[in-house]
């Protein structure tokens, strides 16, 4: 019963319609553009809008479940999902550490005050300076290959400093997700090849500066099948017991990565608006809660006091953000109709990259009464620039606010300046308070790196 209560709380939403207007917490999203303009921000649309309360509750769903386990645990936010420093500071305040995939991510995490010894540098192609930065700060590192181990040994010897490492192994489990976000099979670029494993283990035993403290695996993202987590835990735990028996005295950690999906269709099923009778709610995905995933893993580990690290990204931040766009116009064609907005694949690339679904709706009532099926597209000069296809919507008026839901993860962080478009403003809502946590780019921001550098 407790698990179900956590599930219901986890799937609550702080984006709700009130009298036909979408609100983020207590703020009508249709007011944000004018509020930004009063602050002197003229490039006020599109804009990313985040709910602080949603982020806090997402983290609590994990932390509450982890605290009930009788073992050491650590919740590491996967920073690549969204690196906005303000959002990361919220994660830190809620007791999270961070998993990183680049040296600059590591530098930012240290600047923000995360404890270096709890940070984990991941990645299949680390540069020497990134490894050195991690070793100097006593961070944990994932070993992803034989050459990565050799790099780490060389850095540790040069610094005369120990390196705390985990081995990233692939359990070869199908996570049943898009092939681009499947990372735990034998055919991916991630993880140690089976034929290299014995050599890696032998080299670690011979090198006193390399402390093997744990095992790591991450098999994919947007996972909705809880059995995938169980299978992964079984494979890694059995390998862990084998290495413990072989005498790896520092080994005490299993990192099972992240990958839990979010319900990208929840707003289609739970909206309070009366015009969603067309939505087939039978196809709304059922997502395990963090508590259910953690319980499955804990059952596999049993009474062993092995430490558990989880490193979710999407499920901590994905449902906390929306992109608020402005409708530029509507085009009716012979076989296809289009709503053209000022948001684009440069802000939300997931539909173009993965054919991913994001729920889309108007943020306010339309001045028109008719409805139709539309593709929602942006102004980027690519036929693949779309935010959603075949959506049954009220025909919007020009200037109408339109919203793309659940863009907190892998949207802003994957944004680009393609077509010399600016990265948009980002705001954080906390109750009735609005804070700008990223100003939009300017032309100077885009051009400054191209300034010629005088060379001898």
- What is the torsional sign of CA 12, 18, 20, 24? negative
Which of 232, 134, 124, 237 has the alpha carbon at shortest distance from 175?
A: 232
- CA 428, CA 53: separation in Å to the nearest integer? 10
Q: How many CB atoms lie within 10 A of CB 186?
A: 10
Q: What b/e readout covers 5-43, taking b as 16+ CB neighbours within 10 angstroms?
A: ebbeebbebbbbbeeebbbbbebebbebbeebeeeebeb
The residue with tokens 């983020």 is 24
Q: Spot the catalytic one: 217, 381, 400, 411.
A: 381
- CA 385, CA 345: separation in Å to the nearest integer? 5
- CA separation, residue 271 to residues 16, 321, 390, 451 (Å): 7, 16, 19, 49
Q: β-strand 371-377 against 386-394: which pairing, if any?
A: antiparallel
Whether 411 is a known active-site residue: answer no
The residue with tokens 């956590």 is 6
Token pair recorded at residue 263: 């319900």
Catalytic center residues: 381
């Amino acid at each position: 019963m407790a698990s179900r209560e956590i599930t219901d709380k986890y799937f609550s939403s702080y984006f709700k319609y009130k009298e036909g207007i979408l609100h983020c917490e207590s703020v009508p999203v249709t007011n944000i553009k004018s509020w930004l303009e009063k602050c002197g921000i003229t490039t006020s649309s599109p804009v990313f809008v985040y709910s602080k309360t949603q982020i806090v509750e997402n983290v609590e769903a994990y932390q509450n479940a982890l605290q009930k386990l009788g073992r050491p645990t650590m919740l590491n936010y996967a920073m690549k999902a969204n690196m906005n420093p303000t959002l990361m500071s919220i994660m830190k305040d809620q007791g999270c550490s961070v998993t990183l995939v680049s040296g600059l991510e590591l530098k930012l995490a240290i600047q923000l005050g995360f404890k270096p010894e709890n940070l984990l540098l991941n990645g299949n192609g680390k540069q020497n300076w990134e490894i050195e930065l991690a070793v100097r700060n006593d961070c944990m590192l994932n070993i992803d290959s034989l050459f990565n181990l050799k790099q780490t040994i060389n850095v540790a010897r040069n610094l005369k400093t120990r390196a705390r490492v985990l081995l990233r192994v692939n359990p070869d489990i199908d996570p049943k997700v898009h092939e681009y976000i499947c990372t735990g099979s034998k055919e991916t670029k991630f993880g140690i090849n089976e034929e290299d494993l014995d050599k890696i283990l032998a080299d670690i035993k011979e090198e006193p500066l390399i402390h093997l403290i744990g095992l790591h695996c991450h098999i994919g993202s947007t996972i909705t099948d809880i059995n995938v987590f169980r299978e992964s835990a079984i494979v890694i735990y059995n390998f862990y017991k084998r290495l413990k028996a072989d005498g790896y005295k520092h080994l005490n950690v299993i990192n099972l990565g992240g990958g839990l999906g979010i319900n990208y269709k929840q707003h289609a099923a739970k909206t309070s608006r009366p015009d969603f009778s067309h939505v087939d709610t039978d196809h709304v995905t059922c997502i395990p809660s963090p508590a259910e995933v953690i319980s499955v893993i804990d059952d596999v580990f049993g009474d062993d006091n092995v430490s558990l690290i989880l490193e979710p990204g999407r499920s901590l931040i994905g449902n906390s953000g929306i992109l608020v766009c402005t409708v530029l116009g509507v085009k009716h064609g012979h076989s296809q109709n289009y709503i053209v907005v000022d948001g684009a694949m440069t802000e939300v690339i997931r539909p173009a990259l993965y054919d991913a679904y994001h729920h889309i709706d108007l943020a306010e009532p339309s001045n028109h009464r008719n409805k139709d099926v539309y593709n929602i597209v942006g102004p980027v000069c690519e036929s693949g620039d779309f935010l959603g296809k075949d959506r049954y919507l009220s025909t919007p008026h020009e200037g109408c606010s339109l919203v793309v839901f659940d863009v907190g993860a892998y949207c802003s962080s994957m944004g680009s300046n393609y077509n010399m478009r600016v990265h948009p403003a980002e705001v954080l809502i906390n109750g009735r308070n609005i804070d700008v946590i990223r100003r939009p780019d300017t032309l100077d921001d885009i051009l400054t790196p191209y300034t010629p550098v005088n060379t001898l």
